[in-house]
Amino acid sequence: MQSRFRSDRRLTVRMGVTLFLLGLLYVAFVAALIVLLKSWVLVVVIAAAALAAQYWFSDRIALFAMHGTVVEPEEHPELHAVVDRLCALADMPKPVVAVSSMDMPNAFATGRNPDNAVVCVTTGLLRRLEPAELEGVLAHELSHVAHKDVAVITVASFLGVIAGLVVRFAFYSELLGGRGRRDQNTFAVFAMVVGVSAAVYAISFLLIRALSRYRELAADRAGALLTGRPSALASALTKVTGDIARIPSQDLRTAQAFNAFYFTPALGSEPGISRFFSTHPPLEQRLAQLGRISAELGEAATPGKAG
């Protein structure tokens, strides 16, 4: 079913290209592991299990990691009312609604498709935002679900998970394996596995970052156009980014693993070089886009304005 969120052809093309390139990388990765480990059964079992877990249980994994709990309308009537209103406006299925006990102000969406999606907000976000700002954030997250880019990011991150699992398995196999004449050969295979896995992780890391930054701009644009209040979303962005920047970096480390899914990244006051590899575009770029949308909507709403 097509939602009323404005489609973004450039986002669709970017998602297709990213999945194609990651697919090629995945095939090369599996082939290299089969050659190095000389056990195609082992490689296929690990890869299939990890992909199934990522695809089918990504929402549960994310909720567990971020201390999220599914809430009913009786528990959070205002939150459910905003989601109900936006879903009706966008003509899309209502996702599961969850609240995380984290004080860090943020929100995220996850799930394999619009019929199996979760939208989660933190208690820190609920406490800090005005109703119009919360609506803007939720419209942003629902656009991720409607555009299906949250599912693409989930699948795309699969390669990084596999690379990490292979490195761990190779490491423990080296520690627990027998010693003797095979030590030198075993170490050589171990080093090659780690090298291949590191290269795959690096390439997938860059591809995911490139897609993620554009999809955040697309979600800002779609959410602002759906609500018709880009200024409310801009206000939420400014407020949330400023509050997160005041949180010590060491307190954000666990949350940073899920930056690709967040409304705004969990970066401390001194992000350093990590800013260049961020999953999100700079705040200034996001605010500039929302400013342009606000001007366009204002011009369109002005009576007697020449078109």
Distance between CA atoms of residues 290 and 125, nearest Å: 20
* Catalytic residue (one of 72, 133, 141, 270): 141
Counting beta carbons within 10 angstroms of the beta carbon of residue 154, is it exposed (0 to 12), middle (13 to 18) or buried (19 or more)?
Answer: buried
76 annotated as ligand-binding: no
Q: Give the CA radius of gyration of the chain.
A: 22
Q: Is residue 66 within 8 Å of 120, Cβ to Cβ?
A: yes
Q: Is 296 a residue of the active site?
A: no
Distance between CA atoms of residues 5 and 164, nearest Å: 36
Closest CA to 135 of 87, 198, 75, 182: 87
Counting beta carbons within 10 angstroms of the beta carbon of residue 230, is it exposed (0 to 12), middle (13 to 18) or buried (19 or more)?
Answer: buried
Q: Which residues are catalytic?
A: 141
Binding residues: 140, 144, 216
Binding residues for Zn(2+): 140, 144, 216
